[in-house]
Structure formats: C-alpha cells, structure tokens
Chains A and B, each alone.
Chain A
Amino acid sequence: MKQLYDVLIIGGGVIGSAIAREMSRYRLKIGVLEKNLDVCCETSGRNSGVVHGGFAYNTDSLKAKLCVEGNKIMGQLSEELDFAFQRCGKVLVGNTPEDQESLERTMKQGKANGVSGMELIGKERLHELVPAVIGEFAMYSAESGIVDPFGYTIALAENAAENGVDYFFDNEVTAIERDADSNYVITTSAGTFYSRWVVNSAGLGCGKISELLGIGGYKIIGSKGDYIILDKRTGPLLPMPVYPVPSNTYMGIHVTNTTDGNVIVGPNADLTDNFTYYGVSQENMDYLSSSASDLWPCIHKKDYIRNYSGILPKWVDENGAIQDFKIEVQDLKAPRAINLIGIESPGLTAAVPIARYAVGLMAEREKLTLNSSFNPIRKGVVRFAELSKEEQNLKILENPEYGEVICRCETVTKAEILQAIHNPLGVDTMTGIKYRTRSMMGRCQGGYCQMRIAQLLEQELGKKEDQIQYARKGSQMFFGKVRQEVES
C-alpha cells in the first residue's frame, strides 16, 4: 500500500533536517529524501563551522534577519540537542584607514540588523584577545561563535527521526509530478514517494529541484572554498576566529578554531559549475597558508592533518550579482511546495529560523495541529574524552566497553563507536561513525583505529568486507578477504 506523506523534504542537510525537526512539532507525516548515505555530506558539513553575528549582510535581507535570530537561539539549541557550540567571539582585523572605515560601516550595518556585542578595539585589546594575531585594530563581535557542523546537523536529524520523521538515504530525486488528487509523486533513484507537500532544501541541487517542481529561472552558481586542517596542538594559539576586513560578497580567508580544538585555514572562493568536485590544488593550499599567515603566523606544514573543500550554492541574477535567500511558495506554479533557493552562508547559523520561516509559509496555507508528544531533547553519543577521570571511571564500571580505547588520537572508546554504529538514522558508513564520534579525525587520520572500526561495522551490522563504504555510494573500502577461511 502506498504511503502518502504530508510532507516530503528533498535534501537532508542542515536546512532539510532543521525543517524536518521544526515540522515534527506538528501532527504531520514527514519524510526526508537524501541522495547521499548520511546527512551533512555536502555544504552543511563542508564549511568553517562559524556561527555568524549577522553584521555582514544587507539590512532588511532575510540573510541578516534569520542569521541574527539563529545566532540568538544557538545556545538553547545546543543544550536541547546536545551538540558542540561555543560563543567564543570573533575578530575582524584591520591595518589601514580604509580598513577602519570599512569596519565602522560593518558595525553600523550590524547595529541596524539588530546585532549586539560589537565594538571597535585597539591593538592592545586585540592582542589580549588573540595574542598571536597580526594587526593594528579590529572589530570584535562577542556574540559570534563556532559550532560542530556535523554534530549540529546530525542532532537536528536525529531529533527529527526520534519525533517520527522517516529518513531515506541513497534516494536521489529524478522526477516530480502531480497525480489526479494533486498529490506529488516523487521518483528517486530507489523508488516512488507520494506527498501532499514538498520542500526543496536540496542545497547545491536547489535549482534542479526547483525546475522539477515547475519553477524555472533560478541561476545557481557554486562558490568553492578549500581548507587546511591543523593539528590540535595549534588550538591554544587561536581562542576565536580571526577574519580580515570583509568585502561585500566574501568573508576573506580566515583562521577558525573548531569546537574540538583544531584550527582550520580557509576558504578561498572559486566560482564553479561542477558541484561534485571537491579536489584541492597545490596552488590553493599554498595560497591559503600564505594569505592566512598575514593574520595569524602560526601555520606550519608539520601541523597539517588534512584538507577539504566545500561548495556554497549562490543564487545570482543575470549580471552575476549574489541574491538574498529565497524562501517561497508559488501557489500557481507549484502549490504546497516550499522552495528554498540559494541557501548559502549564513545558512548554518540561520538553519532553524529558516525552518521556522518555511513552516510559517505552510501554516499560512493550512491549519497545523501541534504534536503533543514532540520531544525537543536529544542526546548524542557520550564523549568519553570530555569527562573527568572520575566520570570516566564510573562510565567504565557501568559499561566495560568504555574501557577500550579504539581511537587513540581523540580517545574514542568502543562504547562510543557501538553507539554510533547503531545510530537512530541507520547510517552505516565509516564517515557516519567519524562524524558522530570524532574517531579517525585526529592526527593519525585513522591509521590506528580505522581497521578496528571497519571490523566492528562488519560484526555489528553483519556486513561483508566489500560492503563497507567510506562515505559516498561507491566509496568501497575493500575487495573481500585476502585468503578464504577453510572450514575445518
């Protein structure tokens, strides 16, 4: 029997997952269609992890309004959903009179946008805040912060799932039609789904899904940024993100501390129409390092542990000018379809306000009934490494699996790996475990633990060696056994 959903959400990134969670506050049957094998495989997981203040966006834009709201509620969200967030502040560092003017303009815009906690500070105060920085003065934004983008997206998705939302991974949408009852019929790479409402939160795929919905004309370009991750030993040298003075369209290459104590360097911003290429060139790595060293001279190759890149979907007009977020329902072209276009930075900060805005568009069109059993609280995998010795001891006495360290660099125990393997979304990839526990993210990059985790994944989920996928579909890790075991 075919299942008719009230809402199907296309795209399980931070926006799709926030919408899923916010909609699960109401009595609705909700599903999420995600083409990848986990949430946050694209833009949501591939960024700086900065919680923006909201001063960098034009006053009256959705970007400004929703970012400011998102910043305000991030602390409460992180408590409800158990993800890492630190309101550590950030500085925009300047050296010239032009920089000074630009920062004053930014402050003014920030005030108009409703941002609090901004001040212009001199060299002395700047060096008190970030001793290692190079610069004459700065704008300090006390309300800015950092978030674990994986933890945040996973938390939203798991909370949605715990409140009854169905997640369908490995389902790439290929066609959208409407049947005789005017319900949406969505064809994916894995099957057919039916729904009264559709949400396009497809991120990099938003232009394509919008066209499938019958709303053409949105031009989406990718802005690709590369990053270098530095060893945790560098973390104490960077208590908050350090940015250059921003231009209108681009934040500039910055250095950012992470909630786990690493430092990330980047991004550049290269326009691209290839939304699946995440390679990083030598030229860009060299450029990132030399450019960011002008702000923070602590970048040394011996501390490199990994590089990565991400692509922001930018909606541009015919002249290439970057547009605001678009969150709309076009009742004539595609009734009961919430269309989100160009959700780029500050989408991570603004995700929940964006979701509430989207729910608002739905509530204007039909009456929503509160789901009285909605539970906003979600608990993630316990972080053994963050407990005191006494707490660690108690955990082990409760469950000896906490007494077995699998990932040495990040001190992740077998108990945590097992919790991640049996995650509420049913994700069964290696990166699924990585993003939920921090295993394989340390300086040896899985040299010690990856094989143990692969073995646990095989044992716990009854998989064969050649069924273990690293991250994406097709990212097979093994080609079977070396030698077949002979039964005696």
Chain B
Amino acid sequence: MNAQLKEIQVEQVDVVIIGGGPAGLAAAAELYRRGIRNLLIIEREKQLGGILRQCIHDGFGLTRFQTALSGPEYAQRFIDTIEELNIPYITDATVLEVTHERQVTAVTREGMRTWQAKAVILTMGCRERTRGAIGIPGERPTGVLTAGVAQAYMNLFNTMPAKEVVILGSGDIGMIMARRFTLEGAHVNAVFEIQPYPSGLPRNIEQCLNDYDIPLHLSHGITAIHGNTRLTGVTVSKVDENLKPIPGTEKEYQCDTLILSVGLIPENELSLDAGVILDERTRGALVDENFQTAAEGIFAAGNVLHVHDLVDFVSIEAESLADSVAKYVIEGSLKPAAISINTDCNIGYTVPQRVSGEKEFTLSLRVKRPMKDCRIVVRQAGKEVAVKKMKKAIPAEMIRFVISHEKLVSGSDLEVCVEC
C-alpha cells in the first residue's frame, strides 16, 4: 500500500453542509447566490432530497411555491437549482465526526475524507421516536414499526409491511400512512392518540382519515402488545387527564401491524460531539437569530433544529440563515446574542432562544395546548414589543412572526406569553 494513500488529506472549504435534504439544499442555493462558491453538501444517501424522496403524497410547496407538489417534485426543484448552479455535493458519504474546530470527517467508498470548513451548517433532519423510546409494554413481535419506516418500505422498496393495521399517534406521517395503507389494500382499524387533541394537521385528519372512514380516538393509548413472532393484536385503553390508562376500559384489537407516529427527534448526535448545546424542549440546538449554535461557526436549520410541520418552512428557515453564514465566512464573526427569550407555561418552545437585539428576526414557536382567540405577546422589561393575534392556536401548527429590532433594547431578556 502506497504511503500517500494511508494519509487522510485535509481539504479546505468555506462551508460544509451536512445533509442534502430540504434544509441543506435550500441553504446551499442561497449561500451560492450570496457569493459563497467554495461550499460542499455531504449526503449519506445515493441521491439528494432527504426524506422527501419517500413522501409521494402531495401538499408540499403551497407556501414556498404557491402550488401543490409531491415530495419528490418539491425536492427536485431544489436539486435542479443545485445542478444548474453547479453547487458541489457528494452522495454516499456519511459524516462520522464534526469537531468544535469545524473539521468534518466522512466515510465514502473512496476512503475517509476530511474537510476543514470556515462554517458548518447542520441540516441532518430528524428521526422517529420508537417503541423502545416510549416504552410500550408487552411482547416484542415483528410488525411494530414507525410510520416513516413503513413509508420507506412501501414507497422506496416496494415492500408491503402490513395487512391489518392499528396506528398509535396522530402525527402527520401516521395519518398519511393510514391513507396509503388503505389505498394499497391493507385495512386500517383506527388511529389512537394519547393526548385529548390531535398532534397532526387538520387537513390530514380530513384528507387521510375522514375521507376513508378511519376513526380517530383521542385520549387512548396502547397498553399491551401481543404475539411472540408476528404481532397478533394490541390492547388499547382510555387514558385520564394525566395520560394514565383507566382500568376497565381495555379493548383488544386484532392486527398484524402497529404503526407508531409518536413524534420526531432532531438527529443531533454529530452536533453534541461538536460542542453544540441542545435545548431540552426542542432537542435541537440552542441558536441565535443567525441560527448560530453555541459552537462558533456551526449553524443549524430545519428539522435538526426543531421539528417543523411543513417542509416549506424548513426551506424558508434554511434560506434565511444564508445571509448570516455568508457574513460569518467573510468577516469571521457575528454580533453576540446576549438577550435570552423566555416563555410562559403555555408555550412549548421558541426558536431562536436568544438574539442580539440589533437585527430583525423571525420568531418560531409552538403552543402547548389548543387555544382560541388569544394573543401571543412579546415583552421586554414589561413593555410590549410585538403581538400576534390568533383566532386558533394548536400545537400541531408552528406559529411564526417577524419581530423588528427597533423596539428592542439591550440588557434585558424577552418574555413570550399567551394571553386569552
């Protein structure tokens, strides 16, 4: 073996983008337009596009492109741009490590490759919460799988994983899979949601469940899984206001498949090793209005930052960090963000979690429970600096609004609360 081959050369690049899904593609195109040409998208799959490749249903792009597209169509618009602009990307490359000093190492079929970047953008998306993570009791047969895995089996691998289905969780992918199973000849018994309200979007309840007569039972959980080879059935119970099963309400459902749509977790394993600090609430990075994490020069956008309900907002968020990243690459630093954004008990989280106060920014947040006729108020030192009136606010829909820096002062935190 040639000694030169054994050495792993370090390649210099302005920006490395980890993940070629909707966030990574949008960030890359915008950076290019701002004059950053020495950049690289690293994608672990064989093609760009990320999770959109398996989302063959429509409804994407209504905000970003004012037209309804399927997932692959939506992704293709960005991929076409990447190709037209000749933006560098590599596929079949899995990043193993990002250091605090922004050195990125990936496994490729040509060998290990390492880049030294001036800035790194984390766009790794999210993964699904599993059975083990929510600790559903009972046996461990096959036939218990997450909605996204079932979707990949059907739409990417042409493999049918189910005949007789029960779905736990009213997340959007679960509801979309309820329709998909029905269209492909499987029978979906029902969707059970442990919360007293649905976790997915109203349009999916209408188009994926109601249109196919699939019942949605709120305040119900799975309390046992049966079968020691393939799943034979599940026990479902009503739950009380503390989400605890109510004895005596158990009901058995015979099924060969249990689909879980019980939440998404930002995929931040690489980020942690780079010294990025996570927000316990989003499980994504703590960021400022530049989407810069606690590790300088490392930025994050899309589902790796916080789980979005619409891909359009993922793209828009990723596009909006390009200005800051370009500035960082050219100037070597950004204004520090000393103002924290605090929330009251009705708000699940905000992104960003801190700002400099010297720049307009978009505040993204989710409420913790459904509310009607409320105002979302942002105050600084007791003074209202922004208000958004909501006829209806639900946890499934992310709320976004622009906050001008003109009313902001330094030295005092922002408080976000909901007033009904």
Contact = CB atoms under 8 A, between A and B. Distances in A.
Contacts of A228: 135
Contacts, number: 156
Interface string A400-434: 11111100110101000000000000000000000
Contacts of A485: 158
Nearest to B161: A478
Contacts of A471: 142
B127 A482 contact: no
A481 B159 contact: yes
Given A451-B156, A465-B159, A475 B130 contact: no
Contact of A472 (B110, B159, B161, B229): B229
Contacts of A402: 107
Contact of B132 (A397, A404, A409, A445): A445
Nearest to B154: A482
B405 interface: no
A394 B138 CA distance: 45
A248 interface: no
Interface in B111-149: 111-112, 114, 127-128, 130-135, 137-143, 146, 148-149
Given A278-B139, A278-B140, A301-B135, A482 B160 contact: yes
B246 to A, nearest CB: 14
A307 B107 contact: no
A281 interface: yes
A308 B133 contact: no
A478 B228 contact: no
A389 B112 contact: yes
Contact of B162 (A390, A450, A479): A479
Contacts of A470: 142
A277 B228 contact: yes
A285 B137 contact: yes
A476 B1 CA distance: 45
A207 B158 CA distance: 46
A480 interface: yes
Q: Which of B96, B142, B158, B161 has the most CB of A within 10 A?
A: B142
Name the residue in A302, A390, A394, A444 with the highest tally of chain B Cβ atoms < 10 Å from its Cβ: A444
B159 to A, nearest CB: 5
Contacts of A408: 44, 94
A474 B131 CA distance: 21
Contacts of B158: 481-483, 485
B224 A279 contact: yes
Contacts of A473: 229
Contacts of A401: 109
B413 interface: no
A374 interface: no
A308 B161 CA distance: 23
B128 A444 contact: yes
Contact of B109 (A394, A404, A445): A404
A470 B142 CA distance: 7
B391 interface: no
B142 A447 contact: no
Interface residues of B, number: 54
B107 A394 contact: no
B135 A304 contact: yes
Contacts of B127: 443-444, 447-448
Given A403-B110, A451-B152, A473-B229, A480 B160 contact: yes
A178 interface: no
Contacts of B154: 482
Interface string B209-226: 000000000000001110
Interface in B267-284: 269, 272
Interface in B351-393: none
Contact of B108 (A403, A409, A475): A403
A389 B138 CA distance: 41
Given A278-B139, A444-B127, A482 B159 contact: yes
A251 interface: no
Contacts of A444: 127-128, 130
A465 B228 contact: no
Contacts of A319: none
Contact of B92 (A304, A305, A390, A404): A404
B184 interface: yes
Given A405-B94, A475-B142, A478-B153, A394 B6 contact: yes
B230 interface: yes
Given A481-B158, A482-B159, A280 B8 contact: no
B5 interface: yes
A304 B142 CA distance: 19
Nearest to B283: A302
A396 B142 contact: no
A282 interface: yes
Contacts of B184: 482-483
A392 interface: yes
A278 B224 CA distance: 12
A307 B132 CA distance: 6
A485 B159 CA distance: 12
B217 to A, nearest CB: 20
B163 interface: yes
A401 B44 CA distance: 14
B75 to A, nearest CB: 18
B5 A397 contact: yes
A33 interface: no
Contacts of A404: 92, 94, 107, 109
A254 to B, nearest CB: 19
Nearest to B94: A405
Contacts of B139: 277-279
B227 to A, nearest CB: 9
Given A308-B140, A405-B107, A447 B149 contact: yes
A93 B46 CA distance: 51
B230 A396 contact: no
Contacts of B163: 479
A485 B157 CA distance: 12
Contacts of A480: 159-160
B109 A393 contact: no
Contacts of A409: 269
A477 interface: yes
B105 interface: yes
A280 B224 CA distance: 9
A333 interface: no
Contact of B1 (A304, A306, A394, A446): A394
B160 A304 contact: no
B258 to A, nearest CB: 14
Nearest to B183: A482
A175 B135 CA distance: 40
Contact of B157 (A285, A302, A397, A451): A451
Interface in B23-71: 44
A450 B94 CA distance: 17
B44 to A, nearest CB: 7
A408 B18 CA distance: 14
Contacts of A477: 142-143, 161
Given A277-B228, A475-B142, A393 B111 contact: yes
A139 interface: no
A280 B133 contact: no
18 contacts: A279-B137, A279-B138, A282-B135, A301-B135, A306-B130, A306-B132, A389-B114, A397-B5, A397-B111, A400-B109, A403-B107, A403-B108, A443-B127, A445-B133, A451-B157, A454-B157, A478-B153, A480-B160
Question: Which 10 pairs between the two chains have the least Cβ-Cβ distance?
Answer: A474-B229, A306-B132, A403-B109, A405-B94, A470-B142, A279-B139, A393-B112, A400-B109, A282-B137, A475-B229
Given A281-B138, A477-B143, 16 more contacts: A229-B132, A278-B228, A304-B133, A306-B130, A392-B112, A393-B111, A396-B108, A396-B111, A411-B94, A444-B130, A445-B133, A451-B149, A451-B153, A455-B157, A475-B230, A482-B184
Interface of A: 228-229, 233, 276-282, 285, 301-302, 304-308, 389-390, 392-394, 396-397, 400-405, 408-409, 411, 413, 443-448, 450-451, 454-455, 465, 470-483, 485
